[in-house]
Amino acid sequence: MDLTLLLDKIILDVEDKGARGTVADYIPALARVDPSHFGMAIAELDGTVHGVGDWQHPFSIQSMSKVFTLALVLAQADGADVWRRVGREPSGDPFNSLVQLEHEDGIPRNPFINAGALVVTDELARYGDAADELLTFLRTESGDPGLTVDAEVAASEAEHADRNRALAYFMAAYGNIRHPVPEVLDQYVRQCSIAMSCGDLARSALFLARHGIRNDGSRFIGQSEAKRINAVMLTCGTYDAAGQFAYRVGLPAKSGVGGGILAIVPGRCAVCVWSPGLDKRGNSVAGATALARFTTMTGWSIF
């Protein structure tokens, strides 16, 4: 299949649809991003990357970082301990909701809502600064040593982190945040504020398409861990719209309010699409449309 030609067709389809959504205005630095951007990249198993549009333009990865921090925790010898602290079920509530935490004694429903990601960051902090660990991994896997945290986005997000602060302190009251809350929040904000392109993200996520194998051929996580991450991406990766996304696209995916969506076709490729305009659930409107076209045109769904 000619993936470059495929991407050219997809971008034309997206442009024909016209709908772009609205940018995330509760983080001022993200509110200033031009919603007309669109980029998409496909990374094949051998590392070859095909792209279209703004696929080399860096953007804030936001919640897509949660896939990689979870993998970094599971790569540790005792990494599976994290599942005692966070669940694996869809939330059905907004990604920053406090409601379920109170009903479920400070245990987040899954690692991809904000509360769950804070627990994963706290767990990763056992082995060093979580944001630094993530940045080192992404620089290596993407092949781009210049990747860095967008300081403007990090500062903007930190200034508007009251809800995340509340989530962290609430879980700390139940003993489910073990490091000082300000330290965990700082590491969490910095990991979400890393700037990457679609090409870099797709290349960095290939270990999930290769069942745990990194770009240098070494094993990063076991096949079971890769399967489980993909499974949780499918059921929980697009906030409280995961069922609709699975129905429409049929791939494990993780979105971020920066407008990116990262999707995995196990055994074939990793795909990243970016368009900053979001729907009411926090997922990229044009990104979801592009991925739906991708699976329809290729037949590369997991179903």
Express each pLDDT in 138-157 by its tens digit.
Answer: 999 999 999 999 999 999 99
Q: Which of 14, 23, 66, 284 is catalytic?
A: 66
pLDDT band at 27 (very low <50, low <70, confident <90, very high): confident
Q: Which of 188, 232, 271, 284 is catalytic?
A: 188
Q: Catalogue the E-assigned strands of 153-289.
A: 194-196, 253-255, 260-265, 269-274
pLDDT exceeds 90 at position 96: no
CATH code, 7: 3.40.710.10
Please state the rounded mean pLDDT for residues 264-284: 96
Is 63 among the residues known to form the active site? yes
Is 26 among the residues known to form the active site? no
Q: Which of 14, 23, 63, 275 is catalytic?
A: 63
pLDDT band at 26 (very low <50, low <70, confident <90, very high): confident
- Alpha-carbon distance 237 to 117, whole Å? 12
Q: Which of 52, 60, 97, 239 is catalytic?
A: 239
Which region among 20-34, 44-58, 181-195 has the lowest average model confidence (pLDDT)?
Answer: 20-34
pLDDT exceeds 90 at position 178: yes
- Alpha-carbon distance 216 to 144, whole Å? 14
Is 52 among the residues known to form the active site? no
Buried b (16+ CB within 10 A) or exposed e, 3-14: beebbeebbebb
Across the chain, mean pLDDT equals 95
Whether 48 is in a domain gets the answer yes
Nearest to 222 by CA among 46, 74, 121: 74
Whether 232 is in a domain gets the answer yes
**pLDDT one-digit tens code per residue, 49-63:** 999 999 999 999 999
- The domain total for the chain is 1
Nearest to 126 by CA among 62, 80, 76, 201: 76
pLDDT band at 95 (very low <50, low <70, confident <90, very high): low
Is 127 among the residues known to form the active site? no
Q: Which of 23, 49, 181, 257 is catalytic?
A: 257
Strand partners, 270: 43, 264
Is 247 among the residues known to form the active site? no
Whether 143 is in a domain gets the answer yes
Residue 176 structural domain: 3-298
Whether 27 is in a domain gets the answer yes
pLDDT band at 240 (very low <50, low <70, confident <90, very high): confident
Higher-confidence residue of 196 and 15: namely 196
Whether 303 is in a domain gets the answer no
pLDDT value of position 104 = 86
Which region among 26-30, 55-59, 161-165, 259-263 has the lowest average model confidence (pLDDT)?
Answer: 26-30
Whether 52 is in a domain gets the answer yes
Most distant CA atoms of the chain, gap in Å? 54
Whether 129 is in a domain gets the answer yes
Whether 64 is in a domain gets the answer yes
